Structure 1
Amino acid sequence: MRTAHGMQPGIILLREGTDSSQGKAQLISNINACAAVADAVRTTLGPRGMDKLLYDGKKVTISNDGATIMKLLDIAHPAAKVLAEISTSQDAEVGDGTTSVVLLAGEILARVKPFVEDGLHPRTIARGVRKAASLAVARLHEISVALPEERKRLEVLAATALNSKLIANHKSLFAPMVVDAILALDTWDLSLVGVKKVPGGSVSDSFFVDGVAFKKTFSYAGFEQQPKFFENPKALLLNVELELKSEKENAEVRITDPDDYQSIVDAEWRIIYEKLEKCIESGAEVVLSKLPIGDLATQYFADRGVFCAGRVTYDDMERVSRATGGRVQTSVLDLNPSILGSCANFEERQVGGERYNVFTGCPKAKTATIVLRGGSEQFIEESHRSIHDALMIAKRGLEHSKVVGGGGAVEMKLSRHLREYALKIAGKDQLVISAVAQALEIIPRQLALNAGFDATDVLNALRKKHADAQHTWFGVDCYVEGVVDTLQAEIWEPALNKANALFAASEAATLILQIDETKTASRDMLSFEAAPVPSAVSEVVAMLGVPFRFVLSDLIGLLEPFQRSITRVRVSRSIDATNTAIVLLTTRCVEAAKEVYATLHGRAFNSFEPDVCELAFVEAIEWETAAASDPPEEEGDDRRCVVCLEPLEDQLFTTACDHTFHTHCLAKWRDAPCPVCRYDQVGSQAELASCCDVCNVAVDESPLWVCLLCGHCGCEREHALAHYESTKHAYALDVQTRYVWDFAGEGFVHRLALQKTDEGILQDSAVPVGFVDEEEDGRRRRRRRRLDSDDDDDDDDDDDEDSAAVRRRQWMRASTAARDADHRKLEGMAVEFNELLRSQLARQREIYESRLNALRAENDEKIRAEIVAMKRDIRAGEAKRAKLNKELAKLREELDFTNEVNKSLEQDLHEWQRQSKEADEELKRVEAEGEAECRVLEEEIARLMARLDEV
């Protein structure tokens, strides 16, 4: 194909062996591959779905979980891998519906495949699929039912999720376990729910622990003497090694007398005993540690009636800490009762052929454990996956209270809604939306097929039920051939599950539809193996023969994976080849150098170039010239990067012009190869040029002028001027002074402009770069003729001069004609390039607009979800506020009552104080009267005694 200017469009050259396919055939091939993936999991849908046995040569897996099957299938087709990814995403986001999302995406593609074959543009189809998905999700939120009873809702959701699993017959046992485990968490982190698998026994022997249970760890001799049951124990959680070991690893001891060695041994024993005594003094009866607890500590704790276990895993220790309220300690020097955990009971229980440590009755239980039993390893693994899906569904049911009917009921409602909407619109979107409506019926159809029913009869019955009653939830009854109201039959699914599946399936389908070309890298690039490392290695690796056409950003991108391992990059020009360079890589250690060598040696620089990296280990470096060696460091070692102005300490990059920067700073510099001197790789070859292209004579002492545009060399300025007049290459470098002369502007330039936005260009002439007028050109030619006439002999006659002038004018006319032809050619190339650029920009604009619309729809959905969540939080806050107001009123009543009681008590206190004061006064009066009577009696006694004496 040729353009209007007769120019061929640009060609992208790929490495040999690259496979490329495009067009309608490629799109149909992608749709067929996705349909094949959907067929692989089609029969696993629903309670009557079949299981798949997957064998990878080492391990056997039996499962009907869509995400598990997608992970284990070795899918080679690149487009089909998209369905595996959306299945994994659905499993991580919701937990269930992994098979449904794959089936729905595959069915949408199969329904729109005839439109692709008929020539309908994929963009139109993708737009219709997105519109249908948005309508379906909006309708889903309208018809979903909010159920207030939390525990019942969660149990029904968990039981529905277990209906299609291997343990469906035991859902009455596991559904309450799942709900109890979810409600026990203060945060919705499922890693705090431990699932322990114990082979042997029946699945009905599985049990739930409202706390923590973990398998007994390795124990030393003396463990059997420790108690195995405690009531209200205190638990000490440690990250300390309680084992007798030599302290030579932690300290250096120098002795002069061999008798002092015994004191060192005694100190080691004293250290371990001090640690054990600290644990006993803390009052703990159960000691757990992430690190080993040795035989000495085990026997020590057994003698004192303390249970211990070492090498407890991180997850189990974290769950014990959450359940008991204890804090993990890294030292035993500062133990106190506040860091100890507590529980109602601790016991070591026999479960099958294993011993388990069980904490129950935990007051701060924020974790739970489910112990699974089963006859075979595959059965227990599938049971674990089933419990995980049920936990995820219960978690989503706790976050969102809205549910929909299962059994294909919601898909039938949404399909009917899309059909009715499609009848109201015109255009091509009507066909696509109708196709999506038909694709939604794949869920009830496949449920009926997997149950062994007549799918046509079941679908007809469902369509009749949904057409007769608008608000019914009839779906497939997989146990009795017929239909049932799934909402009344308690077959519920979270509305969030269905919304996420619809969005994921529609996005996957549109993604496949928008692929019009597939390129597969060549086999040698995909199967690259690490290069063998030679025996003689060092910390410095040399990259040989790096082409100068690679800019520094390409080199930095190649070395980016090793940026932490490489401390210095040094670019130096090769002596034997003017268009290559040597890159010296200084690594932190020999192991890092081996990794760089094994990864890069023999590997292509990129997929568009034939050159490969050739690496060699360097023992010593010798510089031929002083200028090529490392530049001398400034005094005080205060060198700084000119980009970030930080000291040059680590991860340095030295360019070929002997300027050093930080590697990350140079990676951000896109203006020129060197931020300091704008070092140009073509001009850098001037120093190596030593031969005049005009005289063909080696240049030793004469000034050398080099054209910066084509590399033409001349041994004097006149050669450079002649080259300018013939080619109009205005810039020439004086190698001796390293100044650049602008022949067009008649002056030296400070530096060349590499971009149009480059500012601050200093020039000695006011004539703009590249501007040549005829008057100036005539003056230059006359000046050249005068110089020629001065150099000629005195006996040259005027005829010779005239003939030379004629020849010069003829040569100038030919040069002008050639220059005009070149200008026309460049003009045509510029027009062709602009046309190509315009088409590519239009294509990019279309792609980014579609992505922007997708992101806008995604953000709108997230905003709607956030609004719903915020409204729910507001309602919860209002309910909490009402409860608090009620409690506040009650507290106010109690406060008023307390105030009245206090007032009455104060009155009683004043009364008692008054009575006490009166009693004190009465007592004083009585005491005074008694003293007076005593004095009277004493006087009477004295008189009586006197009379008796007289007698």
Structure 2
Amino acid sequence: MVEEVSERVMGDCSTSSMSSNLSEVFHFSSGNPRIEETRGIMHLFSNNHLSSHLPVDRKPLLCVLFVPNHMTYADFCQFCGSFIQHMLEMRIVRNDGMEDCYSILIRFDEQKAADTFHKHFNGRKFSSLEEETCNVLFAADVHYTGSIEHTQSTPASSTEQPFCAVCLERLDQDTSGILTTICNHSFHCSCISKWTDSSCPVCRYCQQQPGNSTCSVCQSPENLWMCVICGFVGCGRYKEAHATRHWKETQHCYALELETRRVWDYAGDNYVHRLIQSKTDGKLVELNHHCHHDNDGCCGCECGADPEFSETILNSKVEAIVNEYNELLTSQLEDQKMYFESLLQEVEEEIARETKEAVEKALCQNPRLTKLKVRLDKCIEEKKFHDDISDNLTRNKEIWEAKILEIEEREKRALKMKDEKISELEEEIATLMASIET
């Protein structure tokens, strides 16, 4: 179903008259091709390398063309650096006819920021290790021209949700820039900058397509077989037979045909419908099928598996899904815990700051409280001064008491020595008197 619309994207950018330097028309599309694809046209001002003057009728709306697919949204946000805070909205669109790159529409909060971004990044390499350069053009207007629905969308999916799917906060351009992915899911730029994967955090759609497989020896893209044991990719017997040569050299007898996804057994020279791993030696062996239907009633071998084996396979799948869900739930709960803990810390810091401001405001508004606070501070200083003096006096008292004890001990020793000397002299006098009398 195609609905013709004349809806303009990227906010309130109005259509302007086409000036002389507006000569490039760019066709683009967005949305998941499996669900709904929306096409549009944007008119771009031509990039005149010979002149350094910017277009006269320009708006704060830019388009970055031909961004390589291997560059994730987080990489581009990091590439923009400090300009990310001036971006109100970014929208990822698909280049028509190009599968290895995409483009980004950016709306800035002011014309000065858009001009600075254009001068700083136009012609600059995305990385010093790559040859791709950043092509920045001013956009005059952008229109959606049609929408194609490939599947019937549910009311929940067709209604735009004004909340970020990562942090669950409301999407508001005044607080943080909004990035809309190529599958039309919107996030905060600060949230998507932490998403290192190239896929969408909601639907897992990835713009970067896997490369085409080729033979590891002759680089042939046709009739390819992949070794189930080691992953070697080689061409079949109708080309250079490198897959067969790999089997002869390594004795890896099982190969997967990439086109039909069927497994060939070189040793048995036939297709193997189902493989299981042996419990004895760990090798891959063929599972024997026992069909419960008659030969005429069985249209394939899907019903031929053993019931116990089918139940085991089902239980293993259920267990794997449960484990994956538990790991996902645990990681998400941990992320939410860290997020809300950071919010609580911010609230506590804000409350402490507001309390301090309220106290200072109350003191300023009441002169009596101010005087009391001054007197209190003065009393605290005086108390501290007296405490210091008291501590000094206490220390001096202890020192002098120790000195007095030392002097008393010295005087006692001197008196004792004097008494002993007197006693000796008296004994000598008595001896002399006795000698004189005789």
- TM tier relative to shorter chain: 0.3 to 0.5
Instruction: Using structure 2 for the length normalisation, give the TM-score.
Output: 0.37
Instruction: Using structure 1 for the length normalisation, give the TM-score.
Output: 0.18
Greater strand proportion: 2
